Structure formats: C-alpha cells, structure tokens
Structure 1
Amino acid sequence: MKISAELRMFTERLGHDFARPELLQRALTHGSISTATRPDNQRLEFLGDRVLGLTMAEALFSADRSATEGQMAPRYNALVKGETCAAVAREIGLGEVLKLGRSEMMSGGRRKEALLADAMEAVIAAVYLDAGFETARKVILALWANRLKNVDQDSRDAKTALQEWAQANGMGPPRYVQTSRSGPDHAPEFEITVRLDDGREAVANGKGTKRSIEQAAAQTLLEQIEGSK
C-alpha cells in the first residue's frame, strides 16, 4: 500500500517508516469519517495509551532510582496526560494529516486538544503493531525527550504555576471563562479561555472536567509565556 507524499513527510517527523501503512491510515481516521470498511482509531487509541504509559513508567523508574512512588506519580501524570499528547501531536503536525468528516473539520477538529491527544495515542499503537514494543518505545522517548528532561517543572500544577507567575509580575489571579460547552451530560466538552491582566490569553478545549480543561488552558499560556522570553 502506497502512502501520499504528505503522509511520507509525517512518518519522517514521527520517526518511523511503516511496513504496514494501513495501520497508520487507521490511526489517523476519526470517527466522523469512518465507515464499515474504514474503521476509526478508537481501538488503537486504547492500546496506544497503554504503550505510552508503560514506556513513561519505565523511563521514570530508570531515570531516578531514589524516587518514591509519590514523586514519580505526578511526573508520570504530566507525561501521559492528554494535554501533553496533544502538544506532541502539534509538534509533529499530526493535525494536518488527520482524516476528518466535514462537520468536524469545519468546527476546527484539527486543533482540538482531545482529538489530537486521542490520535497521538492511536499513532503510537500503530507503531507498536507495525514493529513491536522496542520500536514504539524508541519513537516515544525521542518525541518526549525534552519533556522527560523537564518533567519536574512540568509536573507542577499548571493553574498554580500560572497564578504564581502572574502575582510575581504584579498582576491579579488569572481569570478562567467558559466560552462554550457541548456534548451529553455524561461526557461534556468544554472550551475555556484563561486571561491575564496584561491581555495575554490562551484557549483549551476537550472532554473531561472543567478543571482539567482549565489546567490545559493554563499550561498553554505558560508555554506561550516561556516561548516569548
């Protein structure tokens, strides 16, 4: 099975050349465009989450032999959370190659936090099924390398870190505004905007609790602040 030039460039950014490119095609297929003969990436997402989790747990365990479970747990959570997966997905341009239905595409699906995170996990599973755990592990460690180096800083509560930064710079606490809510009550999807007194702001959206999306928005704004230094 041949893949497009666009997908070929994506595999180069990912760091894996697929022997079975149909696995990558499935990993990039969102439910909004799936059919009976073209399954979506949800099953791969389930598997990829576990492959990522084992890789990160092993890396943290090996990196700091003196760390307690209480120290490793927040580091682990910072590395495998949806916001981190989505950030990695953005870095390798995953959103550009996602296969989406028209309505999802029109609503900005290529930028949605939860959608990118799910697709990143699905791609990890595709690598695992294509070439085994060791190859998937190497791909993950390469993509997460900087985050593993800075995990102690990243594991801090983003809302707390942003508030501390704002206060240190003479501003009041960040303000969080729910700009939209959709989906059923049992699986709501929120869009949250966080704003600072100096006018800087960031937006995050996805499924989960309001607090988790607020954390994502705070993390995005912290990254913008760090990038502007």
Structure 2
Amino acid sequence: MKLSRELVAFQARIGHSFARPDLLVRAMTHSSIASDTRPDNQRLEFLGDRILGLVVAEALMASDKTAVEGKLAPRFNALVRKETCADVAREIDIGAVLKLGKSEQVTGGRRKQALLGDAMEALIAAVYRDAGLEAARAMILRLWGARIEEVEEDARDPKTTLQEWAQARRMQPPSYEVMDRSGPDHAPVFRIVARLEDGRSGEGQAPSKRAAEQAAAEALLRKVSND
C-alpha cells in the first residue's frame, strides 16, 4: 500500500516509518467512514489504551522510585486520560490526516477531543503491531516527553480534590448543574456550576461537560481555600 503525501509527512512528525502502511491507514480511519473493506480504528484504540498505560506506569515508577501507589495513581490518570491523548494528538496534527465521513467532517470532527484521543491510542497500537513494544514505547516517551517529568506531585483532578475536601468535612459530595449550552453542535460551550451543601458554588465553561465540571470544581476549590 502506498501512503498519501500527508501520511508520509505524518510519519516524519511521529518519528516512525511503517513497514505495514495499512496499519497507519487503519489507525486514522474513523467509524464514520469505515466499511467491510475499510476497517475502523476502534480495535486498535482498545489495544493502544493498554499499551499507553503500561509504558506510562513504567515511566512513572522509573522517574520516582520512592512514590507510593497513592501518589503514582493520580499522576498516571493525568497522563493517560483522553484529554491528554487529545492534546498530544493536536501537537502532531492528527486531525489533518484523520479519515472521516462527511457528517463528522461537517461537524468539526477533526477538532473533537474524543476523536483525537481515540486516534492517538489507535496510533500507539498501530506502531506496536508494526514494530513491537520498544518502538511503541519510544514514540510514547518522545511524544509525552516533559509531561511525564513535569506531572504534578499531586495530580488529582479538581473534581476528585473537591470531593475529598467535602468528605473530610462530612459534607455531601458536590453537585454539578448544567446552566447553559451554547454554540453550534460541532463546537459547543457548556456552562456548569458546582455547589456544596452549604451553598458555596463555582462556575466553569468548556467545550465538554467533563471539562466544564472540572473548571467549575477548580473555581469552587479556589473559593473555599480563600474563605
């Protein structure tokens, strides 16, 4: 199989030249354009998620030989979550080479966090199947790079931190309410409020509910820490 000019350039960006180009094509094929003769990247995504987890776990243990599981786990979660995979995907411009159906193209699929994160995981699996674990590990460490070294010692996400703060004070878990959803379908903006049972609240906005909840939790954490 001969790769397109765009995929040849993409190989240079990721630092891996495929012996089996079909694996790269499959990794970049979304289900919206898949067919009996053109399989999508979902199975590769499933495998890539596990490979990423193994490599990141090993890297974290190697970078901090004294950290206990309770410290390693939130750092691990921060590095392998879909948002981080999507950030890495943007850095190597996966969106430019994604193969999408017309509906996804029209609704901004090349910028969607979920699609980018899934494609990044599929790419990891494609490299693994093409050249083995060491090649996949080398690419992950190269692309994740400073993220692994610089991940915060306490990398718990704001929602987890806020919930633990409330539990420590024998309060009910925070509630989250969608106050507004604006923008077109392909680029929505959610406005969410996080509330504690004592009435204190924080507000956040983001392109996804999950990210908006995190932003709201972070705003509320700032508020309670200043009270």
| TM over 0.5, shorter chain | yes
| Matched residue SS, 1:152 | coil
Aligned partner of 2:38 in structure 1 is 38
Matched, 1:192 2:190: yes
Q: CA deviation at 1:192?
A: 2.6
Aligned partner of 2:15 in structure 1 is 15
**Residues 71 and 125 of structure 1, relative CA distance in 2, 3 Å threshold:** same
Matched, 1:135 2:135: yes
Larger of the two Rg values belongs to structure: 2
Q: Which deviations, in whole Å up to 9, do the C-alpha atoms of 1:55-91 show, x marking residues without a partner?
A: 0000011111100000000000000000000000000
| Matched residue SS, 1:134 | helix
Matched, 1:214 2:212: yes
Q: CA deviation at 1:158?
A: 4.7
Once the two structures are superposed, the pairs formed by residues 41-80 of structure 1 within 5 Å of their partners are 41-80=41-80
Q: Which deviations, in whole Å up to 9, do the C-alpha atoms of 1:92-139 show, x marking residues without a partner?
A: 000110000001110010011111100100000000000000010000
CA contact (8 A) 1:193 1:217 kept: no
In the alignment, the residues of structure 2 paired with residue 194 and residue 150 of structure 1 have an alpha-carbon distance, to the nearest angstrom, of 29
Matched, 1:204 2:204: no
Moved more, 87-96 or 147-156: 147-156
Q: Percent identity?
A: 59
Q: Which deviations, in whole Å up to 9, do the C-alpha atoms of 1:163-209 show, x marking residues without a partner?
A: xxxxxxxxxxxx975526xxxxxxxxx853579xxxxx96323xxxx
CA contact (8 A) 2:189 2:205 kept: no
Aligned partner of 1:221 in structure 2 is none
Q: CA deviation at 1:9?
A: 1.1
1:179 to 159, 177, 181: 181
Unmatched 5+ stretches in structure 2: 162-176, 183-187, 194-203, 217-227
**Residues 105 and 217 of structure 1, relative CA distance in 2, 3 Å threshold:** farther
In the alignment, the residues of structure 1 paired with residue 14 and residue 178 of structure 2 have an alpha-carbon distance, to the nearest angstrom, of 34
Give me the TM-score of the superposition, normalised by structure 2: 0.75
Give me the TM-score of the superposition, normalised by structure 1: 0.74
Aligned partner of 1:107 in structure 2 is 107
Superposition RMSD in Å: 2.6
Moved more, 152-161 or 44-53: 152-161
- Could you list the runs of 4 or more consecutive aligned residues of structure 1 that deviate by over 4 angstroms after TM superposition? 158-161, 175-178, 215-218
In the alignment, the residues of structure 2 paired with residue 106 and residue 153 of structure 1 have an alpha-carbon distance, to the nearest angstrom, of 41
| Matched residue SS, 1:7 | helix
In the alignment, the residues of structure 1 paired with residue 43 and residue 95 of structure 2 have an alpha-carbon distance, to the nearest angstrom, of 19
CA contact (8 A) 2:60 2:72 kept: yes
Q: CA deviation at 1:217?
A: 6.2
In the alignment, the residues of structure 2 paired with residue 141 and residue 216 of structure 1 have an alpha-carbon distance, to the nearest angstrom, of 27
In the alignment, the residues of structure 1 paired with residue 215 and residue 14 of structure 2 have an alpha-carbon distance, to the nearest angstrom, of 25
| Matched residue SS, 1:192 | strand
Aligned partner of 2:221 in structure 1 is none
> How many residues align structurally?
187
| Matched residue SS, 1:32 | helix
In the alignment, the residues of structure 1 paired with residue 82 and residue 51 of structure 2 have an alpha-carbon distance, to the nearest angstrom, of 14
